[in-house]
Amino acid sequence: MSAKDGQAGKPQKGITVKKDEDFSAWYTELITKAELADIRYNVKGFIVYRAWATISIKKMYAKYESELEKNGHMPLVMPTVIPERNFFMEADHVEGFAPEVFWVTEAGGEGKKLEERLALRPTSETALYYMYSMWIRSYQDLPFKRYQSCQVFRYEGSMTRPFFRAREFHWIEAHDVFATLDDAKAQVREDMETTYKMLQDEFCIPIIFFQRPEWDKFAGAVHTYAADALLDSGKVIQLPSTHLLGDNFSKPFDVKFINSEGVSEYGYITCYGPAISRIYGAMIAILGDDQGLVLPFDLAPVQVVIVPIYFKGKEQMVNGKCQEMEKVLKEETDFSVKLDDREYITPGEKFNEWEMRGVPIRVEIGPRDIKKEQVVIVTRNPRDKHFIKIDDAVEKIKEIANGYTAKLRDKHLRKFDDLIVMVETIGEAREVIESGHIACIGICSIDMRGYDCAENIEKGTGAFIRGKRVDEESISFERCISCGRPDPVTVYCAKSY
C-alpha cells in the first residue's frame, strides 16, 4: 500500500487488491481482513489459525475423517516426539527428512541435555511402524488401517505462506498394512478416489493425479502419487499424496505377519497424507474473488445471514420479521444461521463484510419487503438476487443450498482443461508455462533413466515435471522433448508452490 492510500481516509475493511492483478497481495489481504490467520505470532512459519478459518478447517477434517472411517480406517493418536533411534531406522527416509527436523535436545534445568534427542515428527512412519511391529501378528490382523489427525513440523522453506507452506502444518496421515503388494496397490487407488471425492466434490478444487518421477518420490517410497491443483497464479501446488512403501519400512521396523501357511512375511505398507491446512489455502485461493472468500456451502462458518434493513421508527417491525425468519430457518434446516442485527453499521457495510467472509446466502428483510410479504435472497457466488414470497423463503433457501456447491464445482472444474497445452519443444514449453499454463510433453522415461533429460527440461523451462497422469492419458508424443528418443511417456510440466 502506498503512502497516499494510507492517508486517503477511506475505510479499508474490504479487499482492495484485484486477485488477477496481484495474487500474492490479494491473498495476504484475504488472510488478514477475513480474519483467517494471524501472522503476528512472530515465529517464522508458525501462524495462528483464527476462528473463521478454524471452523471451516474443522468441517474439512470431519468430512475427511468420516470418509476414511467409512473405508475401514480406525483413528489413533501418536505422540508428537519420535526418539532419534526410531527416526534413523530407514536410510532413505532419514536422508530425505533429516535436514527438516526440529530436535528437542534439552529439558528440565538450564542446559540439561536429554540422553536421546527427540524429533518433533515431520511425519509419523517411524513412530507408527515401531508400534505396528508389536500390534500385527497374523494375516488375520490384516488389512490394518489407521489414521491420525495431527500437526507436524518441518524446518524448511524460507518462503512460508499462511496455510500453503508453514513449518507447522495440520494434516491427516493414514498408514495401512497389507498381506500382498496387490492389496497395497488397491489401497493407493482407494486413496486417490478419496482425494477426488474430498477435494473435487466437497472442496471444489480441480486436481490431477500424477505418478511422480523416480527422482521426486517421498523419501523411502517405491512409488509416489500426488494430486496437483492449479492456482490462478499459474502455478500448481501439491495436495494429498499417497505412497506405495512396499516392504521398505516393514523390513527395518520388523512389521511381519504369519500367513495362513504359518510362514512369517513382511507386510506391504501404504501411507496417505492430505495436508488439511494446505488444502484450505488452495481452496480459498482458487475459489476466492475480488470481494473475498467464496466457500462451498458445507464449509461456510455462517451459511445464511439475515440482514435487517432498518428505517427510523420501523426497527421493531423489521426485527420481528427477521427473528421469525431466523427461528423458522433454525427449526426447518440444520444450517448455520446468523441474524446480523447490529444497529451501528449500515446494511451496505454488512453486505460487504459477509461477502468478504464467504457467506453463501444472504436474506434481506426491510419495510418494503414486509409490505409486499417477500424477502430478498442474494447468493454469494454467483451473485444472484431473488425476490421470494416470505412463505416460500425456506424452500428457496434449501434449494439454493443444495445446488450451491455443485455450481461452484462445475465452474472451477471446467477451467482445468483449458490450462493444459501440448508442446513439442522446450522453447514452446517455456512460453506456455510463462503464460500461466501447464505444458504437456513427452519424456523418454520417468525412471532414473530419464533424469538427465528431466534436468535439461526443468532448466530450460524453469518449471518442474510433475509426473505421469494416473487417470486415462489420451495424448501421446513421437519423441522425447529433450533427447529425441522414440516412444516417450506423456508428462506434465508446471511451476509449483
CB of 228 to RNA, least distance (A): 9
Identify the three-state secondary structure at position 204.
coil
**Residue 119 lies near RNA (rule: CB under 7 A):** no
Q: Are strands 361-365 and 304-308 parallel, antiparallel or unpaired?
A: parallel
Nearer residue to RNA within complex by CB, 145 or 217: 217
Task: Give the Cα separation of 292 and 36 in Å (integer).
Answer: 11
Strands 46-49 and 207-211 turn out to be unpaired
Restricting to residues 418-447, which ones interact with RNA according to CB under 7 A? none
Do the beta carbons of residue 465 and residue 493 sit within 8 Å?
Answer: yes
Q: How far is the CB of 462 from RNA (least distance, A)?
A: 6
User: Cα separations (Å) of 99 from 3, 156, 229, 275, 294?
Assistant: 42, 8, 27, 20, 37
Q: Which amino acid is at 208?
A: I
| Nearest to RNA of 54, 133 (CB atom) | 54
Q: Grid coordinates 442485527 are at which residue?
A: 341
> Using CA atoms in the order 424, 477, 241, 192, what is the torsion angle rounded to 10 degrees?
140
Spell out, one character per residue from 239 to 268, where the chain touches RNA: x when CB under 7 A holds, - when not. xxx---------------------------
- By CB under 7 A, name the one of 187, 277, 405, 461 that touches RNA: 277
CB of 104 to RNA, least distance (A): 17
Kindly tell me which residue out of 369, 441, 443, 494 binds RNA, with binding defined by CB under 7 A. 369
8 Å CB contact between 176 and 270: yes
CB atoms within 10 A of CB 464: 20
Question: Of 109 and 348, which has the nearer Cβ to RNA?
Answer: 348
- The nearest distance, CB 372 to RNA, in angstroms, is 8
Give 288 or 366: the residue with its C-beta nearer to RNA. 366
Q: Does 44 bind RNA (CB under 7 A)?
A: yes
Instruction: Look up residue 183 and give its amino acid.
Output: D
Part of the chain binding RNA (CB under 7 A), chosen from 149-157, 259-267, 420-428, 471-479: 149-157
Contact 444, 466 (CB under 8 A): no
Closest C-alpha to 299, from 423, 218, 198: 198
Pick out residues in 61-90 that bind RNA (CB under 7 A): none
Q: Binding of RNA at residue 381 (CB under 7 A)?
A: no
Q: Least distance (Å) from RNA to the CB of residue 194?
A: 14
Cβ 378 to RNA shortest distance, Å = 5
Report the amino acid identity of residue 405: T
Distance CA 46, CA 355 (A): 28
Binding to RNA (CB under 7 A): which residues in 308-367?
Answer: 309-312, 315, 343-349, 351-353, 355-356, 364-367
**The only residue of 246, 252, 273, 360 in contact with RNA, by rule CB under 7 A:** 273
Tell me how far, at minimum, the Cβ of 109 lies from RNA, in Å.
24
Site string for RNA, 285-304 (x = CB under 7 A): ------x-------------
Task: Tell me which residues in 436-495 interact with RNA (CB under 7 A).
Answer: 462
Q: Which of 71, 80, 133, 160 binds RNA (CB under 7 A)?
A: 160
CA distance 80 to 152: 8
Closer of 137 and 189 to RNA (Cβ): 189
Q: Whole-number minimum distance, CB 3 to RNA, in Å?
A: 3
Q: Sheet harboring 81-83: ordered strands across?
A: 81-83, 113-120, 102-106
Q: What's the rounded Cα separation, in Å, for the pair 73 and 176?
A: 8
How far apart are CB 370 and RNA at their closest, in Å? 7
User: Which of these segments, 161-169, 181-189, 295-303, 424-432, binds RNA (CB under 7 A)?
Assistant: 161-169
Nearer Cβ to RNA, position 15 or 174? Answer: 15
161 scored as a contact of RNA (CB under 7 A): yes
Nearer to RNA, 136 or 376 (CB): 376
Site size toward RNA, by CB under 7 A: 83
Burial readout 282-304 (b: 16 or more C-beta within 10 A, e: otherwise): bbbbbbbbebbbbbbbbbbbbbb
Of the candidates 218, 225, 268, 492, which one interacts with RNA according to CB under 7 A? Answer: 218
Residues 177-213 as b/e (b if ≥16 CB within 10 A, e otherwise) read bbbeeebbbebbebbbebbeebbbebbbbbbbbbbbb
Q: Is 112 in the site for RNA (CB under 7 A)?
A: no
- Please, which residue, 69 or 434, has the CB nearer to RNA? 434
C-beta closer to RNA: residue 128 or 179: 128
C-alpha Rg value of the chain to the nearest Å: 26
